């Protein structure tokens, strides 16, 4: 059993009784806003003690349920607001998970994973979970690798060249690989001693790079490179740059961002793993879900 299966087996054990005699109606329902949950729970606990027979009527009068799909299609100008309200509010009930509709984009609330649906390469239908950072890193890795291999890595000249002091071993690495490093978009000139002048950086580092970020990147790259040959570490440096430039877990994505990730990931030679080997995309077929829900054995 996987950790997921074990979890559910434990959970089910708690709820496995379906004995008739166990049944006690639990009529209390609580609706709260995402913000300030405590005061709302208390307020709603008073006003929303529902009897079993009057549920649908009274529930429809709450903010959470006043949104009617048909109505909101008619009075459409208001939908965005209503939609936001519905998705940001949890529906709470005693001893039950706080549940809410997934957001408009499918990006889950930790802003790390995106839910999608579709059909896999074996023509099975199901849903997918995308790790936004892993996917972005893979996309950037293949872009950078391609740019490097075809010598099309864009280099932008620094208006104020930077003096960079390096360690003796880093100095040897940079001197030995000036042209290779230039193919990555970094243009160094030896200044004397253990000092280099940095005249260009990769375009992918951004239009107006922060000087501290540049120094950090140079330091990290020379650290990766020291005491090793360039061919040994060029992929590692590209991975580093790809990771550095990627969308991170916690970044909020728009629909457009998500579509762009899907499209670019689909073009990758190895779309299923990030630069460091982590998965980018996980698939759960409907058949697997049918097993998980015991619809089929």
Least Cα distance to 262 among 89, 92, 113, 132 occurs for 132
What is the distance between the alpha carbons of residues 27 and 213, in angstroms, rounded to a whole number? Answer: 57
Q: Is 153 in the site for its own copies (CB under 8 A)?
A: no
- Pick from 149, 175, 189, 216 the residue near its own copies by CB under 8 A: 149
Tell me how far CA of residue 81 lies from CA of 49, 66, 84, in angstroms.
27, 13, 5
Closest distance of CB 100 from its own copies, Å = 6
Q: Which of 136, 140, 142, 166 binds its own copies (CB under 8 A)?
A: 142
Interaction of residue 256 with its own copies, rule CB under 8 A: yes
Residue from 12, 61, 175, 210 touching its own copies (CB under 8 A): that is 12
Site for its own copies (CB under 8 A): which residue of 36, 42, 47, 152?
152
> With CB under 8 A, what is the number of residues at the site for its own copies?
119
102-141 footprint of its own copies as x/- string (CB under 8 A):
xxxxx-xxx-xx-xxxxxxx---x-xxx-x--x-------
Q: Is 185 in the site for its own copies (CB under 8 A)?
A: no
Report the candidate in 174, 173, 185 with the shortest Cα–Cα distance to residue 144: 185
* 17 near its own copies (CB under 8 A): yes
Under rule CB under 8 A, residue 230 binds its own copies:
no
User: Can residue 248 be called a binding residue for its own copies (CB under 8 A)?
Assistant: no
Could you tell me the smallest distance in angstroms from the CB atom of residue 17 to its own copies?
A: 7
CB under 8 A: which stretch of 170-178, 207-215, 216-224, 261-269 binds its own copies?
A: 261-269
State which H helix or E strand residue 85 sits in: helix 79-88
- Assess contact for 106 and 116: CB atoms under 8 A: yes
Smallest distance, its own copies to C-beta of residue 90, A: 6
Rounded CA separation 127/124 (Å): 10
Is position 282 an interface residue for its own copies (rule: CB under 8 A)?
Answer: yes
Give ∠ CA 31-36-40 in degrees, rounded to 5.
35
Q: Which residue has the tokens 């209503």?
A: 82
- Check if the beta carbon of residue 49 is closer than 8 Å to that of residue 41: no
Footprint of its own copies on residues 71-90 (CB under 8 A)?
73, 76-77, 79-80, 86, 90
* Interacting residues of 223 by C-beta distance below 8 A, sequence separation 6+: 170
In whole angstroms, the minimum distance from the beta carbon of 194 to its own copies comes to 30
Q: Any contact of residue 178 with its own copies (CB under 8 A)?
A: no
Beta strand pairing call for 125-131 and 113-119: antiparallel
- The answer to whether 182 and 122 have CB atoms below 8 angstroms apart is no
The sign of the CA dihedral 99, 103, 109, 113 is positive
Question: In this structure, what token pair is assigned to residue 26?
Answer: 């639990």
180 contacts its own copies (rule: CB under 8 A): no
Q: Is there binding between residue 228 and its own copies (CB under 8 A)?
A: no
Site for its own copies in 29-58 (CB under 8 A): 29, 52-53, 55-56
Least distance in angstroms from the C-beta of 268 to its own copies:
7
Residue 167 and residue 172: Cα distance in Å, rounded?
9
Q: How far is the CB of 288 from its own copies (least distance, A)?
A: 6
240 is a contact residue toward its own copies (CB under 8 A): no
């Amino acid at each position: 059993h996987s950790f997921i299966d074990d979890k559910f087996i434990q959970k089910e054990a708690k709820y496995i009784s379906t004995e008739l005699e166990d049944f006690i109606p639990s009529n209390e329902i609580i609706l709260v806003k995402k913000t300030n949950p405590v005061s709302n729970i208390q307020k709603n606990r008073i006003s929303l003690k529902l009897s079993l027979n009057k549920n649908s009527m009274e529930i429809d009068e709450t903010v959470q349920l006043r949104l009617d799909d048909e109505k909101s299609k008619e009075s459409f100008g208001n939908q965005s607001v209503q939609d936001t309200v519905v998705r940001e509010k949890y529906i709470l009930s005693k001893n039950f998970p706080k549940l809410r509709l997934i957001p408009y984009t499918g990006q889950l609330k930790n802003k790390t994973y995106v839910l999608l649906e579709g059909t896999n390469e074996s023509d099975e239908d199901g849903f997918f979970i995308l790790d936004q950072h892993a996917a972005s890193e893979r996309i950037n890795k293949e872009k950078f690798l391609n740019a490097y291999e075809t010598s099309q890595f864009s280099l932008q000249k620094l208006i104020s060249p930077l003096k960079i002091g390096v360690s003796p071993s880093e100095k040897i690495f940079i001197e030995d690989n000036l042209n290779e490093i230039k193919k990555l978009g970094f243009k160094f000139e030896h200044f004397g001693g253990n000092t280099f002048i940095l005249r260009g950086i990769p375009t992918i580092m951004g239009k107006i790079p922060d000087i501290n970020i540049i120094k950090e990147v140079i330091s990290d790259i020379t650290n990766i490179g020291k005491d090793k040959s360039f061919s040994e570490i060029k992929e590692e440096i590209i991975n580093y740059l790809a990771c550095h430039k990627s969308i991170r877990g916690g970044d909020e994505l728009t629909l457009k961002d998500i579509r762009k990730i899907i499209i670019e990931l689909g073009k990758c030679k190895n779309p299923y793993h990030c630069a460091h080997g982590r998965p980018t995309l996980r698939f759960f077929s409907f058949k697997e879900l049918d097993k998980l829900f015991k619809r089929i054995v």
